[in-house]
């Protein structure tokens, strides 16, 4: 039986990963949950910090060290950006690692250094299985970089059109998100008084997920010089959820575009193309690993919309989906396809 550890277990992403693992059909059959680790919370009783998971309430958070994590078969790292790289290099070769942070997502070292301000640690297999070739690569990998939440929604809204050659890869992305994507670290701009009854764009033209979205779209085309991405994130008074709209020039008729999206989504268990005229809503994907999609063509432009739960498909659900592939378990195991 495998042992799985979660680092950063008391954070939003770590707690969500544990929720999914506890409901996984392989729990206590194919794997057990081992160490739950934290930083400043080391030594605390897990149930005092995350009461929603009573099955793990009596466990104590341990320190996040290579020695503790190295005793496991697989590790999910739900840590702040820049922390995973130093930790991962000291883990033994037998440990499978899924990193929910950004440390190993980008291929371009200069892009990493520009947006994150530290030395590039390298590149791991990228954890969106729905992109061409990724599912097979994830299944063979020992280390996988789970995608960012914004790039997940934006990429999967655009990918069907680009793969089907009906969307020009010059995209404008606008994403509305809830506050849990920023993690639990206290910040004035995330206080209730700052976010309730308010919408605010932030990091316009400089958000760290912009190069990740662009990298994903470049994977889908031959001429990467033709890929252009603008990204505007908007903070909304939601706990969880991301609604993304991708606008780009159409390279076919409305029926061609619709057919491309239908073909791309047909065999994907977590992609749901809604009937024409019905728009995605974040409330319908909350708690699920689904991506709800819609696509329209108007005045020569494609408008593709996606809704995801940023903590599930956008982070922890993607990590468990990759873990399933890496361990040879059914890809959908433990991942809800129905929203709350």
Separate counts of helices (H) and strands (E) for the chain: 11, 14
Contacts of 315 (CB under 8 A, 6+ apart): 13, 16, 78, 100, 146, 149
Neighbours of 205 (CB within 10 A): 8
Calculate ∠ Cα 45-287-297, nearest 5°: 150
Q: Compute φ and ψ for 7, nearest 5 degrees.
A: -95, 135
Strand partners of residue 62: 37
Rounded-to-integer distance, Cα 312 and Cα 323, Å: 14
Q: Which two tokens stand for residue 319?
A: 């990590």
DSSP structural state of residue 190? G
Rounded-to-integer distance, Cα 259 and Cα 306, Å: 17
Inter-residue long-range contacts of 331-335, CB under 8 Å, 24+ positions, other chains counted: 331/129, 331/135, 331/269, 332/269, 332/270, 333/24, 333/25, 333/26, 334/20, 334/21, 334/23, 334/24, 334/25, 334/26, 334/27, 335/20, 335/270, 335/288, 335/289
DSSP structural state of residue 250? B
Catalytic residue among 100, 149, 265, 322: 149
Per DSSP, the three-state class of 287 is: coil
Single out the residue of 243, 234, 250 nearest to residue 171, CA to CA.
Answer: 250
- Count CA within 13 A, CB hemisphere, residue 129: 27
CA distances from 55 to 22, 142, 315 (A): 8, 28, 22
Is 149 marked active-site? yes
Active site members: 149
């Amino acid at each position: 039986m495998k042992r799985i550890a979660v680092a950063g277990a008391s954070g939003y992403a770590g707690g969500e990963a544990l929720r999914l693992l506890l409901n996984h059909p392989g729990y206590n059959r194919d794997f057990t949950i081992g160490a739950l680790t934290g930083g400043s919370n080391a030594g605390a009783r897990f149930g005092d910090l995350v009461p929603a998971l009573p099955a793990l309430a009596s466990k104590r958070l341990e320190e996040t060290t290579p020695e503790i994590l190295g005793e496991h078969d697989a590790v999910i790292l739900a840590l702040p950006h820049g922390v995973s790289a130093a930790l991962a290099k000291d883990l033994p070769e037998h440990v499978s690692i899924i990193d929910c942070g950004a440390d190993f997502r980008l291929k371009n070292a200069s892009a990493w250094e520009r947006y994150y301000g530290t030395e590039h640690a390298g590149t791991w297999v990228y954890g969106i299985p729905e992109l061409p070739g990724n599912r097979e690569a994830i299944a063979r990998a020992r280390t996988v970089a789970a995608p960012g939440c914004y790039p997940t929604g934006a990429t999967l809204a655009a990918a069907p059109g680009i793969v089907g050659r009906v969307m020009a890869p010059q995209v404008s992305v606008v994403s509305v998100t809830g506050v849990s994507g920023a993690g639990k670290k206290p910040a004035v701009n995330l206080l209730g008084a700052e976010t309730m009854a308010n919408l605010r764009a932030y990091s316009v033209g400089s958000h760290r997920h912009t190069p990740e979205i662009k990298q994903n779209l470049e994977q889908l085309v031959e001429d990467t010089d033709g890929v252009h991405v603008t990204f505007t994130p908007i903070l909304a008074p939601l706990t969880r959820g991301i609604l993304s709209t991708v606008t780009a020039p159409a390279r076919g008729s409305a029926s061609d575009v619709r057919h491309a999206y239908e073909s791309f989504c047909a065999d994907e268990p977590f992609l749901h193309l809604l009937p024409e005229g019905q728009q995605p809503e974040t409330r319908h994907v909350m708690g699920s690993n689904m991506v709800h999609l819609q696509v329209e063509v108007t005045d020569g432009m494609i408008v593709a919309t996606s809704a995801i739960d940023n903590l599930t498909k956008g982070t922890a659900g993607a990590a468990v989906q990759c873990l399933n592939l890496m361990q040879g378990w059914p890809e959908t195991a433990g991942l809800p396809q129905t929203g709350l």
